[in-house]
């Protein structure tokens, strides 16, 4: 992972319109963003499109980054995650209209894409405190939060995946988040 | 829709960051963020709390063509995602019309959306077309709405068969998005407007067609200015800024 100070410098040069710096920023960070986009969007073409959108936005908005928004890579990945969610909601609309031919549900009903999100979360380094707090959550709350985070699932999609009523899912997510907040000491 | 309750505000911020706040509620929350520093602070707190999870995403190198496409857009001076040129960039408008004429002649609205991108960034990563073209479907209805006195215009396509509405906006309509929304209506055979949803503040949006709605024989679309989140009555309450016919593309 590129070091934060170097990325911050590249970001500020990018904000000043330095295309060479922007290229280096892309080289140092794009694999992280692309991995995130691919994971959430599950399709290479969508992830590539989203990656392009992200970096155009970064090119334009690099000046809005400031250190209080977290480490540069964190900020970049946050930008990417929001973009992924937007695109996902646009392209994979809620299946609220039964007459709408395609069965979107089947696309993620059986997730054969490998590791469980919990396992993935645990693999990551530097999770530290958050991981400790996640481990303290009841199973279903932790799973709801992590599935929403890593798969971009909506309440409805969580309900299908976890085979629980919508109301139950909503309260798992809410309680999970509440307890995380308390555990993280705020 | 006042988030008087601080706890509710916290929860909405958390679910916004997590992504489980969706649809109308999400859009309303985003608008609210513009005027509420306390909620913005909640959002960045949650972004920080959950940021550690980023480590769970495995890096994957993108293909080189993505950088090529980004570079081309930057060098062509386009600063924003397609359809949102800043400051009325003339080439943006040109692209819009190129796409529009393609739409009129190419007999495929869906294709035209691919064309926006293709015209905009003429090369590799244009996979949208392949993905979205439905084969034997009747053509959707299309309307181009241009309110007077502004540079804004919206290309609306309605596909009753697929129950989808797609809006592509260009240019800003002058208003305070935190205090007003633009609502899209179809005027029924009986002359009564039926809400189709809110127009996106920027760019493109896909919306489902309201349940049970059928298209009138000669539909007209209208846009009105409404309180944030849309008309509270189900009928237009604010001024109608544009009305135009919607026709089957052919």
Q: Domain range spanning residue B104?
A: 6-120
Report whether pLDDT(B126) > 60: no
Q: Which residues of B touch A70 (CB under 8 A)?
A: 47-48, 51
Q: Are B170 and B227 in contact (CB under 8 A)?
A: no
Query: What's the pLDDT score for residue A120?
Result: 47
B71 occurs within a structural domain: yes
Query: What's the pLDDT score for residue B77?
Result: 66
Query: What's the pLDDT score for residue A51?
Result: 96
- Of the pLDDT bands very low, low, confident and very high (cuts 50, 70, 90), residue B79 is very low
- Of the pLDDT bands very low, low, confident and very high (cuts 50, 70, 90), residue B4 is low
Region A1-96: CATH code? 1.10.1740.10
Tell me, yes or no, whether B62 and B105 share the same domain: yes
Report whether pLDDT(B80) > 90: no
Query: Which residue in B14, B65, B81 is closest to A56 by CB distance?
Result: B81
How far off is chain B from A78, nearest CA to CA, in Å? 7
Q: Which residues of A touch B73 (CB under 8 A)?
A: 52, 56
On whether ipTM exceeds 0.85, the answer is no
Report whether pLDDT(B133) > 50: no
Q: Are A52 and B70 in contact (CB under 8 A)?
A: yes
Contact B53 A127 (CB under 8 A): yes
Contact B56 A152 (CB under 8 A): no
Mutate to test the interface with B, among A36, A37, A42, A56 (most CBs of B within 10 A): A56
What is the total count of domains within chain B?
2
Report whether pLDDT(B173) > 80: yes
Tell me, yes or no, whether B11 and B116 share the same domain: yes
Report whether pLDDT(B242) > 80: yes
Report whether pLDDT(B129) > 50: no
Report whether pLDDT(B73) > 60: yes
Tell me, yes or no, whether B221 and B161 share the same domain: yes
Which residue is it, tokens 């992924």? A84
B126 occurs within a structural domain: no
* Each residue's pLDDT tens digit, B174-233: 888 888 888 998 887 777 888 888 888 777 888 888 877 778 877 888 888 888 888 888
- Secondary structure, 3-state, B181-250: EEEEEEECCCCCEEEEEECCCCCEEEEECCCCCCCCCCCEEEEEEECCCCCCCCCCCCCEEEEEECEECC
The partner residues of B142 in beta bridges, in order of sequence, read B157, B247
For a pLDDT cut of 90, what percent of chain B falls above it?
A: 22
From the list A36, A41, A3, the residue with the least C-alpha distance to A120 is: A36
Tell me, yes or no, whether B186 and B84 share the same domain: no
B136 occurs within a structural domain: no
B133 occurs within a structural domain: no
CATH 1.10.1740.10 in chain A, residue ranges = 1-96
Query: Which residue in A56, A149, A154 is closest to B73 by CB distance?
Result: A56
Better pLDDT: B88 or A144:
A144
Tell me, yes or no, whether B54 and B100 share the same domain: yes
Nearest chain B residue (CA) to A100: B162
Report whether pLDDT(B109) > 90: no
Query: Which residue in B15, B57, B78 is closest to A39 by CB distance?
Result: B57
Nearest chain A residue (CA) to B21: A154
Tell me, yes or no, whether B186 and B100 share the same domain: no
B131 occurs within a structural domain: no
Better pLDDT: A93 or B90:
A93
Tell me, yes or no, whether B145 and B115 share the same domain: no
To the nearest whole number, what is the mean pLDDT of chain A?
A: 82
Query: What's the pLDDT score for residue A100?
Result: 29
Domain final residue pick, B120, B152, B185: B120
CATH 1.10.10.10 in chain A, residue ranges = 103-186
CATH number of the structural domain spanning residue B159:
2.60.40
Section B2-28 average pLDDT: 87
Contact B52 A178 (CB under 8 A): no
Give B194's contacts (C-beta < 8 A, 6+ positions apart).
B185, B186, B187, B188, B210, B213
Q: Which residues of B touch A45 (CB under 8 A)?
A: 125, 127-128, 131
How far off is chain B from A30, nearest CA to CA, in Å? 7
Give B89's contacts (C-beta < 8 A, 6+ positions apart).
B77, B78
Nearest chain A residue (CA) to B67: A52
Query: Which residue in A23, A35, A180 is closest to B49 by CB distance?
Result: A180
Report whether pLDDT(B37) > 80: yes
**Segments of chain A with pLDDT less than 50:** 1, 95-115, 118-126
Contact B60 A127 (CB under 8 A): no
- Of the pLDDT bands very low, low, confident and very high (cuts 50, 70, 90), residue B112 is very low
Tell me, yes or no, whether B87 and B189 share the same domain: no
Tell me, yes or no, whether B31 and B78 share the same domain: yes
Query: What's the pLDDT score for residue A2?
Result: 58
Tell me, yes or no, whether B155 and B208 share the same domain: yes
Tell me, yes or no, whether B158 and B210 share the same domain: yes
Query: What's the pLDDT score for residue A84?
Result: 96
To the nearest whole number, what is the mean pLDDT of chain B?
A: 75
Nearest chain B residue (CA) to A38: B60
* Each residue's pLDDT tens digit, A146-177: 999 999 999 999 999 999 999 999 999 999 99
Mutate to test the interface with A, among B20, B117, B202, B205 (most CBs of A within 10 A): B20
Contact B22 A36 (CB under 8 A): no
Query: What's the pLDDT score for residue B241?
Result: 85
Better pLDDT: B85 or B142:
B142
How far off is chain B from A68, nearest CA to CA, in Å? 9
Tell me, yes or no, whether B88 and B18 share the same domain: yes
- Of the pLDDT bands very low, low, confident and very high (cuts 50, 70, 90), residue B92 is very low
B104 occurs within a structural domain: yes
Section B42-51 average pLDDT: 92
pTM beyond 0.90: the answer is no
Sheet holding B240-245, edge to edge: B193-198, B181-187, B220-226, B240-245
For a pLDDT cut of 70, what percent of chain B falls above it?
A: 73
The CATH T-level fold of domain A103-186 is Arc Repressor Mutant, subunit A (1.10.10)
Q: Which two tokens stand for residue A6?
A: 């170097």
B1 occurs within a structural domain: no
Residues counted in chain B: 250
């Amino acid at each position: 992972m590129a070091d934060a100070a170097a990325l911050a410098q590249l970001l500020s040069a990018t904000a000043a319109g330095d295309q060479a710096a922007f290229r280096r920023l892309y080289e140092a960070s794009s694999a992280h963003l692309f991995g995130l986009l691919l994971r959430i969007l599950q399709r290479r073409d969508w992830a590539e499109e989203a990656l392009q959108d992200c970096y155009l936005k970064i090119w334009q908005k690099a000046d809005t980054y400031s250190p209080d928004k977290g480490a540069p890579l964190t900020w970049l990945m946050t930008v990417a995650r929001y973009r992924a969610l937007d695109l996902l909601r646009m392209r994979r609309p809620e299946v609220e209209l039964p007459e709408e031919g395609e069965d979107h549900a089947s696309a993620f009903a059986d997730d054969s894409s490998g590791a469980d999100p919990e396992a993935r979360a645990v693999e990551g380094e530097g999770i530290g405190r958050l991981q400790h707090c996640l481990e303290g959550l009841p199973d279903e709350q932790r799973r709801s939060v992590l599935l929403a985070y890593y798969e971009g699932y909506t309440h409805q999609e969580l309900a299908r995946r976890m085979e629980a009523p919508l109301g139950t899912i909503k309260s798992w997510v809410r309680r999970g988040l509440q307890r995380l907040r308390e555990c993280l000491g705020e | 829709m006042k988030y008087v309750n601080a706890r509710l505000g916290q929860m909405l911020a958390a679910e916004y960051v997590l992504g489980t706040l969706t649809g109308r509620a999400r859009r309303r929350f985003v608008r609210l963020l513009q005027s509420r520093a306390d909620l913005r602070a909640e959002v960045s707190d949650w972004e920080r709390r959950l940021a550690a999870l980023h480590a769970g995403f495995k890096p994957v190198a993108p293909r080189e063509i993505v950088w090529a496409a980004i570079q081309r857009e930057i060098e062509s001076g386009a600063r924003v995602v397609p359809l949102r040129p800043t400051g009325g960039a003339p080439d943006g408008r040109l692209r819009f019309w190129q796409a529009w004429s393609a739409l009129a002649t190419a007999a495929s609205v869906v294709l035209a959306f691919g064309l926006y991108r293709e015209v905009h960034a003429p090369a590799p990563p244009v996979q949208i077309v392949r993905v979205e073209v439905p084969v034997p479907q009747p053509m959707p209805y299309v309307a181009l709405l241009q309110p007077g006195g502004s540079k804004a215009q919206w290309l609306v396509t309605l596909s009753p068969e697929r129950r989808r509405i797609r809006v592509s906006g260009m240019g800003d309509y002058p208003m305070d998005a935190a205090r007003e929304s633009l609502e899209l209506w179809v005027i029924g055979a009986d002359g009564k407007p039926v809400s189709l949803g809110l127009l996106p503040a920027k760019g493109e949006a896909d919306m489902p067609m309201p349940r049970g709605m059928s298209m009138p024989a000669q539909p007209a679309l209208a846009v009105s200015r409404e309180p944030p989140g849309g008309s509270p009555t189900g009928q237009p309450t604010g001024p109608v800024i544009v009305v135009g016919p919607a026709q089957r593309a052919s």
